[in-house]
Structure formats: structure tokens, C-alpha cells
Structure 1
């Protein structure tokens, strides 16, 4: 991730900077100049390469790729399955609220203290977590990075957004952040061990890393999600597509070990069975289940379209037929389905040289 020179606070969309992480081509950085308007969809890469490490986003990055009316990022060769249009962004914000409920109305679990100084939010999406964090901790300089320029222009004065791909070389200073945060990166990372190692390197001794990931498999403890049912197949399809892309959807079951191998200590795993629908008796879990049902039904096409069509080769009509079966299954009262969502946090040892 590249140098940090952006305007904070009352930004216009021109002020969102492309501080890209550095795929090097002929010794030049993968960066381009900005224009807030979005043109026709294009499969082109980022346009002309420039040696500048930090400039604003070019027209091409806003010329989103399109698949049956859904728009997708146009950041280099990165393959990411989620669209970046208004419908997808609405689902992301629903997911943010649901994640806060999972964490008992907290933004994070890591014990970072009351006055963090530098915080990085990787894969910030709509930027809602970073905005809430910056509001809650005015002491912190907060940075949010993403491959799509979908973040708002008006943000807290201690927050900046950058267009960047976390899979490329990180060039933030070493031993720099009090907290590096990410969530819901399943299916988007080609090398999780390397990503965690890069995060480790950028965190200051004694600082923390936190990652929240969903196990995409929909489960039940009473047999109401049997093999061959639409909800059971959902997880199998995502896992298969992820393996085909080389970007796993199964990181949640591996994350604790990978974090320890990256050098982190005191790794904590906090896993919650998040119900789908209002079937639980417990009031808190019932509310959480309602939000999860809204999250899933709102985003079925957002989650499934690219993977089923572009990766697995389904026809559009077959995708829509399956999504309708999936929606009917989710809304049914005949299941007690849930997904596991795990939050991991871990500390960088103090004895690492600063």
C-alpha cells in the first residue's frame, strides 16, 4: 500500500485518492488520475501507468464492469465476486449493523485501549465501519482501503479513504498501526498467509489485528438443512467457485492457525451461531436472525451472480431460478438454519524491534 497524502474531512469525490499497493510494471506503479464521473462499463485495466505513488483515481476505475445490470470494480486484474452498486452497498450496511449486534453493539473486540493513534480498515467497502470508528475515537488517524471508490465524500476529519488492493505489496510504514481491521474478505484473497504477514509487519509492537469472517456453509442442528437442499447447496457452490478462483471461502476455519504462523500471539477466536430468521427463542438471537435474513434476502443476487455465471458457467436463467428457490427456502418457517461468523483478534508481541 502506497504513500499517504490525501485530504481528510470534507472531501469531494475528487479527493478520494488512489494510494495503490504496487503492482510494478516497467518500474511504475499501478495508479491513474481521477474523475468523479462514471462512464460506460469497460473491461479495460487502469489506463496509463504513472510513476507517481499517490494520485487521484482515473476515469477508468469508475468505468465499472457490468454483468446483467450489476456493476463490479475495475481495479486492475483483481478478481472479486461482489458488485459495487447501490443494491450491494445497501447489503453491506445491513451487514455492518448485524456485525455490531454479533459483537454486543461493539465495533471490535481487540483490547486496543481508549486512545488509539493509527488504525487501518482493509476492504472498507462503503466505509461505514471506518466512519463509526473515527467518530468514536477522535484520537485516531483512520485509513480505509478498498478496490472500489464507493465511500462517501463527507467523513470525519480524522478519516481518509484510499483505493488499494490488499493483495499487492503493502508499503505502509512498518510497526505503524495500533489496529489493523478487516472483515468479510472471504473469496477475495489469493494468499491469506501472506496477507496476515503483511498486516503483522505494519502493526506496531503491542498492537492488534482483528478479522471477522463468515463460514459460508448454512447449517442446522436438527437436520432441517439437508444435503441437496438449496441452502445446503449454497455453501457448496461458493466453496467450489472459490477453489476454482484460488480464493477460498473457508478461511474462518484456518484463520487462528494462520495468525499464529504469521507471528501473532494471544489469538482469540469468538464464534457465534448466527440464525437465519426469527426461529430462536432467545430475544437477542431472534433479532440477530431477522437481520441475517434481511442481509441474505437483500443480497442473494449480489452474492451469487458473478460466482455462478462467470466462475461456474451457469446461464442467467438458471441463476435466477436457483436464487428464487434459495429465497423461498430462506423465508420458510420449516428450518432452524444458521451460519457461523467468527471474529479473530491477536496481538503483535512487544519484543518485536520497533
Structure 2
């Protein structure tokens, strides 16, 4: 694993080339879920409309799959790092998105029952037989049986949760004693070690505006720096945090990080409109034209090889305390 304190060497010759009960009125519920909302040319979820800022259309799905690939590269091909049992039985993936992580996990562990939940039913219909997806809002009280999962996985939930203490308590309550919860988050603030993310630059503005939008939305976008403390406060034990610097662009000299950075630049190109359009137009009252001008400046910076920006990534996992052994001797 890379040391978060270490600087990434710059390549001067770089040429960036989601088990609960179903509602009785299934028809009306399905209609509410599938009646997607369209704004500014992008498609958004209808279930719990407005509770999540990101689109659920194909363009954003492609971006989410790119992100999955980036995380696989960052984790050396691993889907998780928590020391879970070799034969997990009941696994929950929160905010499953396109379902790609849950599909890969179910393929890798065919004996496990895997459940993925999300606000949108955008996952494929052809999935491993040990996997199912449900439309659910994990910020509402969980309807699963307590202590029913031995592994709960969450990824990139920044801007999704208003009260993290409630969320982590639900996760802890629904894990079996000794089970693990793991969360991977990514920073929305571009940084540089060599000062090339200049004060007042569009990349610095992106970070500041993004954090401000999270505050206005009432759901922090700084989860990357808050998740470890959240697990500690909830009562998890054996907490471990890994952190990486994720380059934006192919500027590193290291071949592995150059490749990761090249994918991440594509990730940004594909994702930035969806990341900010809803929040800027609804919370800051920017016009679509103003957002597009803003995005054009960000894209220009993404292609500037003199800017050696990176994001920080955190992966935190913690264990639910095992059930105390009885002191009673038979």
C-alpha cells in the first residue's frame, strides 16, 4: 500500500494519451421508482427524489464503472481489505450503483448470499444466482433482521448521509458479532505536493465549492476525512484505515500510478457534470450555461500537464465486537 505522506514522482515526459419486506401496493411503488426525473438533460432517481445529487443515467453509470476499475487498480485487484471470513454467508452492499462490486463479489464467493441496495433499480437483470438487488434508502431505519450480515460494504457515500452517527449505528446493529464493515471514500478536493494546484485556480475552486455544496445540501462531501472517526464513535473495534493519493492525470513517473491517473482523468471528464449540475443549479441557483462555463474551465485544467493534482482516498474497516463469552461454568 502506498504511504499517503509520500510524494508521487512526476513524469516530465508525460503524454496523457445494495432482505426486507416488500410494500403491499407493488404497482404504485414500482411506478414511483421508475418514474425518473429529467433535469438539464440528465436523468435522476424518482424514489426519494432530491435526497441524492447524482444522475442515474448511462453516462453516469459508465463513470461509476470507471471508478470501480480505478479502485481495483488502487487495491491491487482486491474488492475489499477487511479480514473477513474465507466463506462469508450474508453480505450487504450499500449504495450499489451499477451493481458491479456486488456482482464481482458474488462471483468470487458463490456460497454467499449477497444483497445490493440503491435508490435506483439500474443494475443489470442477469446477475449471479446468489445476488439480488433491492431499491432501498439506507438513511431510513433499516428493515433487515438485526445481526444478519457478516460483512457490510459501502463505497463513495459522500453527500448521501445527513447523520452519519445513525448510519454507523445501523451498520453495527445489523452485523453479526465479529463481522466487519468497510467503507471506501474519495476526496472532492484536488491537492498537489508541488504547488501546481494554485491558490485561486479552478481546481482549488472546485474543492472549495464542492465542500460548500455539501454543507448547503446538509450532507457532507468530506466523508474521506470523517469515516474513521465515525466508526470509532459508533463502537467498532480493530479499526484500520488505508489512505492513498489518487492522481488526476497521467503525470506520475511510476507506471502503476500513471495508469491509475490516466483512468482518473477520464473519470473526471465523464463525471464532473453529474457531480455538480444538480447541486449548483438547485442550491447555488447557477444557470445551466454558468455551470457549463465552469466545467469547461475544469476540463481545461484536467488537460494541463503542468498541473499535478491528486485526490485522497480512504478505506476504513472496523469489526463489531464479538459476543462476550459467558463466565458461567456449567
* Fold similarity call, TM over 0.5: yes
In the superposition, relative to structure 1, how do residues 352 and 190 fare at CA in structure 2: closer, same or farther (>3 Å)?
farther
Q: Does 1:164 align with 2:144?
A: no
Which structure is richer in relative contact order (CA contacts within 8 A, separation 6 or more)? 2
User: For residue 238 of structure 1, what is the aligned residue in structure 2?
Assistant: 210
So what's the TM-score if we normalise by structure 1?
Answer: 0.84
User: For residue 180 of structure 1, what is the aligned residue in structure 2?
Assistant: 152
User: For residue 273 of structure 1, what is the aligned residue in structure 2?
Assistant: 245
Q: Could you list the runs of 5+ residues in structure 2 that have no partner in the other structure?
A: 1-17, 326-330
C-alpha distance in structure 2 between counterparts of 1:225 and 1:158, whole Å: 46
User: For residue 33 of structure 1, what is the aligned residue in structure 2?
Assistant: 26
User: For residue 124 of structure 2, what is the aligned residue in structure 1?
Assistant: 152
1:315 to 274, 287, 292: 287
**Is contact 1:278–1:290 with CA below 8 Å preserved after alignment?**
yes
User: For residue 213 of structure 1, what is the aligned residue in structure 2?
Assistant: 185
Q: Alignment partner of 1:153: what SS?
A: coil
Deviations 1:306-342 (A, max 9, x none): 1111121101110000101001101111111000010
User: For residue 14 of structure 2, what is the aligned residue in structure 1?
Assistant: none
Of residues 58-67 and 337-346 in structure 1, the stretch that sits farther from structure 2 once superposed is 58-67
C-alpha distance in structure 1 between counterparts of 2:50 and 2:285, whole Å: 19
- What is the aligned-residue RMSD (CA, Å)? 1.6
Deviations 1:220-279 (A, max 9, x none): 011111122111111111111110111001122121111011110011111100001111
**Is contact 2:79–2:101 with CA below 8 Å preserved after alignment?**
yes
C-alpha distance in structure 2 between counterparts of 1:185 and 1:250, whole Å: 10
C-alpha distance in structure 2 between counterparts of 1:304 and 1:167, whole Å: 22
Residue 216 of structure 1 deviates from its aligned partner by 0.8
1:286 to 238, 255, 258: 258
Structure 1 runs of 4+ off > 4 angstroms? none
Q: Alignment partner of 2:158: what SS?
A: coil
C-alpha distance in structure 2 between counterparts of 1:32 and 1:294, whole Å: 42
Q: Could you list the runs of 5+ residues in structure 1 that have no partner in the other structure?
A: 5-18, 20-28, 35-46, 48-56
User: For residue 9 of structure 2, what is the aligned residue in structure 1?
Assistant: none
In the superposition, relative to structure 1, how do residues 320 and 77 fare at CA in structure 2: closer, same or farther (>3 Å)?
closer
Residue 351 of structure 1 deviates from its aligned partner by 2.6
Q: Does 1:257 align with 2:229?
A: yes
C-alpha distance in structure 2 between counterparts of 1:78 and 1:327, whole Å: 27
Q: Alignment partner of 1:220: what SS?
A: coil
